[in-house]
Amino acid sequence: MGASDSRCPAFVLDSVTKAYPRTVALAPLSLTIARGERVAFLGPSGAGKTTLLHLLGGVIQPSQGQIWVHGQPLSGLTAGRELAGLVGVIHQQFDLVPLLSVVHNVLAGRLGQWSLMRSLVSLISPRDRHIALEALGKVGITEKAYERTSRLSGGEQQRVAVARMLVQDPDIMLADEPVASVDPARAEDVLSLLSNIASERGKTLIATLHSVDLIKRHFSRAIGLRNGELQFDLPTGEVTEEMLERLYEIRGRVEG
């Protein structure tokens, strides 16, 4: 990205809000995330974690305020090629296409670079095959490359989603609850995979999750949200159990 200076932070948020007709999903929030940081968003359901992640990914637009990514206004980047090179998102449900074979789901990460013709030809005979196979090797499921994605287990599908992100190769990786639906061993696995990739390739990693242990092991910074408001923003080493209890505690009437 020509315009992006390597000294610019990954993200700068300037009093960003997101309001929906009846609720405020995110109160004015300002923060800076440096390049190569590994940041975890914490908070109870409905706290605004996913909203924030979607704002950063350009999936939704802020109601007010401005987001800069690598020094450029996020709203000024065209969706597709430009944004895809900078920011990639792994969603909670992996968002794979079940009927396609694994290799095509992984190569979907290349769609931003490919012409329509090349995309079409690739469905018949995969293009850039070595890139896909390398990514699948990295997540440890090379042998599944030509299987139909629906035949894979949940954990394997998650790896496919990670491989797709690797192929897309964005500078910033966003992951929405990457370990919400997997057992503890696999959660550890997936997170070390993501954080290793981030540190090896100098990428920024931002994820939403709940477990203190995992956060302390794989992230450098923790941001706590509640009711769309910032509760704390600390190095993971300084986060205490007590702070988390306060963050997750149910006050008065039940909150989503």
Helical H runs in 28-168?
49-56, 81-86, 102-107, 116-124, 129-138, 154-168
Nearest to 203 by CA among 85, 59, 75: 85
Q: Is 196 in the site for other proteins (CB under 8 A)?
A: no
Q: Applying CB under 8 A, which of residues 45, 81, 146, 192 lies at the interface with other proteins?
A: 81
Nearer to other proteins, 149 or 195 (CB): 149
Nearer to other proteins, 58 or 228 (CB): 58
Tokens found for residue 119? 């995309």
Q: Which of residues 136-165 bind other proteins (CB under 8 A)?
A: 150-151, 164
Letter for the amino acid at 237? Answer: G
Alpha carbon dihedral 249, 28, 33, 183, in 10-degree steps, equals 30
Q: Shortest gap between Cβ of 112 and other proteins (angstroms)? A: 2
Q: Which of residues 122-141 bind other proteins (CB under 8 A)?
A: 123
Question: CA–CA separation, 15 vs 29, rounded Å?
Answer: 5
Instruction: Choose the stretch contacting other proteins; rule: CB under 8 A; options: 19-27, 102-110, 195-203, 245-253.
Output: 102-110
Any long-range contacts for 114-119 (C-beta under 8 Å, 24+ apart)? none
Q: Shortest gap between Cβ of 232 and other proteins (angstroms)? A: 29
Residue whose entry in the numeric block shows the structure tokens 């992100």: 165
Q: Applying CB under 8 A, which of residues 65, 72, 114, 133 lies at the interface with other proteins?
A: 114
Q: Is 243 in the site for other proteins (CB under 8 A)?
A: no
How many amino acids of this chain bind other proteins (CB under 8 A)? Answer: 35
Q: Which of residues 40-79 bind other proteins (CB under 8 A)?
A: 57-59, 79
Q: What value does the CA radius of gyration of the chain take, rounded to a whole number of Å? A: 18
Catalog residues that contact other proteins under the rule CB under 8 A. Answer: 57-59, 79-81, 83-85, 87-89, 91, 93, 95-100, 104, 108-109, 111-114, 116, 119-120, 123, 150-151, 164, 168
